[in-house]
């Protein structure tokens, strides 16, 4: 599953960050690194961009970039 498929309000954990070169570096620099918990907060009316919450702050990314981030749903204990 990729980050763009996560429903509003749901949480998941980043498994891998795809992309190549500068794009991948930019995603990693923004804090989108493996084993980080993310939550989708909002989606723009036309579906792009999406706002996510991670590491205590909100981040808005393009849906195209979110498709490059593999996630796994978090298991509730």
Helix (H, G, I), strand (E, B) or coil at 61: strand
Please state whether beta strands 69-73 and 11-17 pair in parallel, antiparallel, or not at all (unpaired): antiparallel
Neighbours of 50 (CB within 10 A): 21
**Candidates 3.40.710.10, 2.30.30.90, 3.30.360.10, 3.40.640.10; correct CATH number of 3-73?**
2.30.30.90
The pLDDT tens digits for 4-55 are 999 999 999 999 998 888 989 998 999 999 999 999 999 999 888 999 999 9
Q: Is the pLDDT of residue 75 over 70?
A: no
* 22 vs 14: CA distance, rounded Å: 19
Look at residue 20 in the predicted model and tell me its pLDDT. Answer: 86
pTM: 0.84
């Amino acid at each position: 599953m990729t980050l763009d498929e996560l429903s509003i309000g749901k949480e998941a954990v980043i498994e891998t960050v795809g992309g190549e070169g500068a794009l991948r570096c930019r995603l990693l620099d923004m804090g989108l690194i493996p084993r980080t918990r993310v939550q989708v907060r909002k989606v723009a009316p036309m579906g792009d961009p999406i706002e996510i919450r991670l590491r205590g702050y909100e981040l808005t990314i393009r849906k195209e970039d979110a498709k490059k981030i593999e996630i796994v749903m978090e298991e509730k204990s």
